[in-house]
Amino acid sequence: MRKFSYEHEYTRPEATRISDGVIMRLDHVHEVDPDLMGHHFKQQVMPVWDTERIVSSRNAHLDWMHAHFADETLVAGEESELDLGPGQPAGDAVDRGPEVPANHPRPIFGD
């Protein structure tokens, strides 16, 4: 249990810019840039503990949802490939799906 400190809870940590419209103050907690958010929404100061509670609740909810739908959740056990950049079709994949409208079927014979 963390000891409550008013200063800690109500002093928002420095923001790190993640993208044009998103910042991050707490680990893994993304926030819409307040400069964009504040025009039409009244803003409030949210204590750190409350932010963490909401994030934790959401994660608990998602874990619960998996168990709710199946006894066990399997994963591929593989890392994200996003850093590799866009992929290319496999050599035998070029002709796989018809990319023509259904009313103009590809000829069975010929080219």
* 26 in Cβ contact with 48 (< 8 Å): yes
Stretch that binds another protein, among 8-16, 44-52, 77-85 (CB under 8 A): 77-85
Binding status of residue 80 toward another protein by CB under 8 A: yes
> Judged by CB under 8 A, which of 70, 107, 108, 111 binds another protein?
70
**Contact flags string 90-109 toward another protein, x per CB under 8 A:** x-xx--xxxxxxx-------
AA letter at 96: R
Alpha-carbon distance values, 23 to 30, 36, 53, 55, 56 (Å): 6, 11, 19, 16, 19
Tokens 């420095």 belong to: 14
Stretch that binds another protein, among 7-15, 45-53, 73-81 (CB under 8 A): 73-81
